[in-house]
Structure 1
Amino acid sequence: MEVVSCAHPCPRRCSDLQEGIVCQRARACLQGCRCPEGSLEQDGGCVPLEHCECTDAQGHSWAPGSQHQEACNNCTCRAGQLSCTAQPCPPPAHCAWSRWSAWSPCSRSCGPAGQQSRFRSSTSGSWAPECREEQSQSQPCPQPPCPPLCLQGTRPRS
């Protein structure tokens, strides 16, 4: 920072760029501290214009030269100003499914560990992420207890 006797009041800070403050040379000059010509104040220090950070509408700070995505648009921070493309988001995918199939027969005829399944398929032809729901389901299907095993050559005891 340098002390000046006459400095135009805008822009003085990197944040002025994001807020759209424009310099009106007709305004009276002000005495005080100011960053040297070609640099602006940021976090209490002076930085060149191209090193100014950007702030988005939600208050997030972005480093100079950084890129990020907001909704369906690509945004870039350049010289303290965040510029974003203006592309509309595509409409949400239409997801349609067939009815569930009937439950399959139980995988076991007796005992507790049987499973059965059912399936469905996409009828809209869309495999968009929001259309990736369950295509199959499984559930246990307990059966009556299995009869005891009988080995040949053994006789039941009385």
Structure 2
Amino acid sequence: MTTAAHRHHHQHHDDAHGFVAAVEQASSERGLRLTPLRREVLELVAGAGKPVKAYDLLDRLREKHGNAAPPTVYRALDFLLENGFIHKLESINAYVSCHHPEEAHQVPFLICDTCHCAQEVCDERVAELIEAQAKAFGFRPQAQTLEVHGTCKNCREA
């Protein structure tokens, strides 16, 4: 049985600096190599404050490193995705930092179509329900992306 305490035991990182520090710690604990470039891409994603596209990241990298190329950014993003440090929002082809990079997980997102912010829904019951339904149909899921589009509270009140 999943309890509220179990669902919300993650430490959330709302500031970019705290998030990057948590990723550095998780990388160290897992024996992963967070290279300077991977760290820089991570900082850009975390500092964006909303979903950011790969080519926007590339433009930001080129401000400091004029010779940055798309494969460089995509390799860094792939590393960060594979290790659960960021999420890719497929419907808008953009990346966001993970609220709890200490462990891999699948979570749904609420995406505002007005301001383009994305809110990670930190409730394991949603993923467990989808997993249970898939199992009931004899389906073996390999990846799970649930993105709900609409209008956030701030945009509705504006």
Fold conserved between structures, TM > 0.5: no
TM-score by length of 1: 0.23
Larger radius of gyration: 1
More strand by share: 1
Q: Bigger relative contact order, structure 1 or 2, given CA contacts below 8 A and separation 6+? A: 2
